[in-house]
Amino acid sequence: MPPGREALPRKERKPMPPGREALPRKERKPMPPGREAEAAAAARTRPEVDFAEAGAGGRIVAASWWGTALLVVTSGAGAIDPHPLDVPALVVALVLFFGGIVAFFAAYVIAIGRSRESEIGIAAVFGLAGCAPRAVQVRLYASLAVAIAASVATAAARLHSVLAFGILANMWALGMIGLWGARFGAFPPRRPPAPRRRRGR
C-alpha cells in the first residue's frame, strides 16, 4: 500500500437511534381457520372440461383462411404492380379490418352471455388457451401468422404506399380467433358463491 494509507482511521458505523433495536419484526397474520385448506384445494382442483371436436366451428376457420388468402393475393399483386392493383388491396384490407372489429364485438357479446353459466376469461376467449383443441389452435394461428407475414412483407416492399393498410387486415384473423373461442370454447361451470361467514358479536 502507498505510504501513509495505514494510518487512515477506519470509519465507524453510526449507531441506530435509541429504541430501534428493540422494535419487534412484524409477523404476517395467519389466515382464518379452514381458509388455508380451501385455498389449497381451489388451487389444486381445476374442473375438467371437454373440448369441442376438431371440426367444430369449421366455417369460422374457413372464413379466417379465406380472408388471409384475399389479403395475400391482393397485397401481393399490389406490391408487384402498384398501379392500379393497389386499390383492390386497399379495399380488401379495409373490409377485413372492419369485419374483424365486428367479429371482436360479437365474440365479446357472446362471451358475456356465456359467462352467466361458465367461468370465462377474456384471455382464454381471444387466446384459445385451455379451451380449444390443439388442431383448431394451429389452424387459426397459422392463418394469423400468414396474414401478418404477407402484410408486413408487402408493406416493406412498397414503403409509403397504401399497402401499409394491409397490416390492419390482421384484425380479421384475430377476430375469427375470438369468435371461435366465444362460441365453441370449453370453460368450466361457474362455481356458486361461497357463503359469507357471520362475525361473532
DSSP type of residue 57: T
With 80 as the cut, is the pLDDT of residue 79 above it? yes
Whole-prediction pTM: 0.70
For the chain, how far is it from start to end, CA to CA, in angstroms? 74
Which is nearest to 55 in space by CA: 135, 128, 124, 130? Answer: 135
- Of 71 and 131, the one with more pLDDT: 71
pLDDT score for 43: 42
pLDDT score for 94: 96
- What percentage of the chain reaches a pLDDT higher than 70? 69
pLDDT tens for residues 80-114? 988 888 899 999 999 999 999 999 999 999 998 88
* CB within 8 Å of 166: residues ≥ 6 apart: 71, 75, 89, 93, 150, 151, 154, 155
Torsion of CA 133, 134, 135, 139, to 10 degrees: 110
Q: Give the C-alpha separation, 47 to 73, whole Å.
A: 44
With 70 as the cut, is the pLDDT of residue 51 above it? no
- Of 188 and 161, the one with more pLDDT: 161
Mean pLDDT, the chain, as a whole number?
80
- Of 35 and 78, the one with more pLDDT: 78
